[in-house]
Structure 1
Amino acid sequence: MATFFVTGTGTDVGKTFVSCAMLARAREQGLTTLGLKPVASGCHATPQGLRNADALALQAQCHPGLPYERINPVAFAPPIAPHLAARQAGQEMTLDTLTGALAPALAEPCDLTLIEGAGGWRVPLNDKEDLAGLATRLALPVILVVGLELGCLNQARLAAEAIRADGLPLAGWVGNLLDADFAVDGTIYRANLATLDQHLPGPCLGVVPRLDAASPAALAQSGAAHLALPCTPDEERT
């Protein structure tokens, strides 16, 4: 069993896409998979309750399948920071409640489990706790999704430094090309990737180009070809 926390250099850098692609890669290898989105804002109303597009994409990559409520136990409608959405809803989010809500899903044996955060590493959970505390409490190695665009070197290094300051290992990083113009000059693009590889304290698990697909599942399948599965610190020592 291997469990990782997936974070990003910011919002909309492709955490869900990379997580789904990595789960799809694991499924290709015959592994059982679980993708969790503990907290999601920007959810839409359905007859079954609030649903989040990212959480639904993760649910589609879970094998064997799980009910939505186990994938995304805390859901909010407004597309704002989760702690602000919780405040508007008159709810209190804490690390205790989140770890308790995830416990049933994490109790199931699984070859690869990915727990996707919200936004970047320091997204607040309440006035005193942030979502990074969930990864710390569960002692999880971290996968960092780097949105490849202007400014990504600074963003990636700061995120990696924060992860290390919290005492967690960086299991690896994934580059996700957000801005096609960023890769127009191939020499500079490769130099940026080399700089990330030099300064981030974890292996590159893949670099994903701009991809188009008709559905989230097809997109994940296309992305899977560009990714390697992460290793736990124990596996790296063997």
Structure 2
Amino acid sequence: MTTPARRVRRTGRRRFDLRATAVYFGLLALVVCATGLAVRTAIAAVERRPVWQAALCLVAVSSALVLRRRRRSLSAARAARRAAAALEAATRTTLEALETPAAQPPPPSVPRQAVPRDDTVEAGEGAVGYDALDADEFEQAVAALCARDGCTGVDVVGGAGDLGADVLAVTPDGRRLVVQCKRYSEDNRVGSQDLQRFGGTCWTVHEADVAVLVTTSDFTAPAAEYAEQCGIRCLDRAALEAWSDGTGPAPWTPAGDGTH
């Protein structure tokens, strides 16, 4: 009589694998060491530059999201490789942040002066080369002379719609000074029409106490006569150069007074 073979049931338990366990704990130790190195580097970066705290937080959050989204079915080796890659990226970002120089603040801006002081008009240094100046530069040079000799509130207002006033100022004795500048060549003298246009605005519009017309040229006889009748003071090239080099009076100085 044949005895039937007895069927052996297979249990669901897996056989203990020493090699796999050793590999798992070795990888785990590597992850712990890499984590410690990254944390140490991050702490040093935060102490030097607190602004990188936000960057490190973003890296940490990204790493946490990646670890959370992995599935349990992933092997220990695959999880270790992903963790090592994330830690390597975080370490590289931190090292790049440490090597990047901090941004320097911009230099403070220098306020612009209304009328800069021009060293070329200092007394005793000779006449300025007015022939080399254009009309705007000539107005600036005259304004610098006014400021040099004690005028306050010096302002260059020449341009379109200036109604004859190129420089406005207050003389050292408190009078309102209105100056018109004519940058003319030597063969182009200031005529009576120029004086008439200036005389029609300097007193009524600009309320001048002292009205001066200064030129790099000269005045015609009718222009000089009209200026004398209206009380406008005229400075031709010779008087301008004397004022510039300190040998002549300022145009607002009363007649007979050579000081300024």
Q: TM-score, normalised by structure 1?
A: 0.31
RCO comparison, higher one (Cα < 8 Å, 6+): 1
The structure in which a higher percent of residues are strand is 1
The structure in which a higher percent of residues are helix is 2
Higher Cα radius of gyration:
2
Q: TM-score, normalised by structure 2?
A: 0.29
